[in-house]
Chains A and B, each alone.
Chain A
Amino acid sequence: MYRIGRNGGVVTRHIISIGDFDRRQIDRLLDNAKRIDAQKYDRDALSGKILATLFFEPSTRTRMSFEAAIARLGGTSISVGSVEACSMAKGETLADTIRVVSGYADAIVIRHPKEGAARLAAQFAGVPVINAGDGAGQHPSQTLLDLYTIRQSMKLDDIHIALVGDLRYGRTAHSLASALSLYDARLHTISPKGLELPGSLQAELTEKGIQITEHDSLQEVIPEVDVIYVTRIQRERFPDSASYFNVASSYRITPELLSPAKKHAIVLHPLPRVDEIDPRVDALPHAKYFEQSRNGVPVRMAMLLQVMQ
C-alpha cells in the first residue's frame, strides 16, 4: 500500500500511487472510511498533529477536503498561500522545500505539476507524504473516493463501468481503471478520436485480465453498465471552439440518454463539470457526483489516520 521510507530508523508511510495498494489494503481503507462516515471515530485521534498542504497547482475539492479531514480528526493544517508567495518561486528545489516543511508538520499533502514529484517528496521527507496529484500522473485519494462511492451503491466485483470523455489525459480515469482491475471489472470506453485510453494502459489492463470494449456512442453502452464515469473534455485539446462544442455535445449526459439505464446505475464525475452533464441529471437517483465529492472527507480522513497515527 505504501512506499516505505526509512529515515533514521523510523519507518515512514507514504501514499503515492493507487498501484502501491493491493485489494486487501484498499478494502480495509474503504472499511475505515465507512466507519468514519457512520461517525464511529475518535475526534481527537490526530489532536496536536499538523498537516502541511503544499499545492503547486490549483485545487478546490482536494485541498479543502484534506483540510476538513484533518480538522475533523482534531488536527490542524498549514499551507503556503500561493505558489508565487513560496520560496520555490525564488528557485528553491522541491527537495529543499520538502525537507524544510518536514520540520514544521507531521505529514505533507502535495500537488505538483511534475509527474513523480510526490515520489521525490517521499524520498526527502522525514514525515508521511500523500500525493494529491502529480501532473498527468497519480491521484490516489481521488481513486479511493471513487471506489468508495461505487461501493456505497454496489459491490465492486464484476461491475460494468463506462469511462466517458477524455481518457487520454484524464488521470482519474486511468487510476480508477487500474484499481478496478483488482475487482475483475469490465471496462467500456467512449471517447473522442485522439482522446482514447492510451495504448500502453490498455495493454497493461488487458494483461491484468480486465476486459475492455471500445464503443462509438454513449447510447449503445448506457443500458449495459452499472457505473458511468464521466471526465471533462478540455477545450484546449481542440483546435477551435466550434470543434470542441461539436464533440463535447455528443458526450453529454442527459436525462433522455439515461432513460434506458439500469435502475441501480450511477453517474460519477470527479468535478468540476462544465458541459459534460446536463444539470437536469442532478435530480435523478443516478446522479452521485456530489455525493462522490462529499465522500472525499471520510476517505481522506481514513488516509490521514493510516499514515499519521
Chain B
Amino acid sequence: MTPQRVLRAALIFVALVAMHYFVRPLMGWRVSMDFLVIAMLLVAVRVRPGVAAVVGFVLGLIGDSLAPESFGAGALAMCLVGFSASWLKAVFFSDNVFLHAIFFFAGKWAFDVIFVVAARRGGMYEMATQVVLWSPLAAALTAVTGVIVLLLFRGMLEAPST
C-alpha cells in the first residue's frame, strides 16, 4: 500500500470510530450497527494478525471505557476477532459482496458472543437471548452497513495483496 492509501484508510478508520459514537446514539435503535467492528475488520485485513490484535485491543478498551462493569470484555473480544479476521483475510477479501457481508456478520456475532461470555452480564436466559436473538440482528445490520461502507469507499479501500 502506498502512503496515500494508508492515510485514506486511516481517515476512514477514524471516521468509522466517530460514527460509532454519533450515528448509533442518533438513531437510538434497540438493534444497531457496530461501526467499531467494521473499522477493526477493515484494518485487520490490511495488517498482520498481531497488529490486528493490538488494534482490536485498543478499540475494545475505548468501547469498554464507557462500561466499567464489563471492562476488558470488549478488549478481549475485539482482540480475538481482529486476530482471527487477519488470519482469514485471504479467504474473505475476494471481490465478492456476499462474502464481505458474511465476513462482517461473522465478525460482529463472534464479538458479541465473546463479549457476553467474558462480561458475564445477567443470567443464562438473558445471555442466550442476547446471543441468539439480538446479536444476529445486530450482526446483520452491521453486515449491511459494512458492505455499504465498502461499496462507497471502494476506491480508497482496495483489497490488499495477499
Q: Do A and B actually bind? A: no
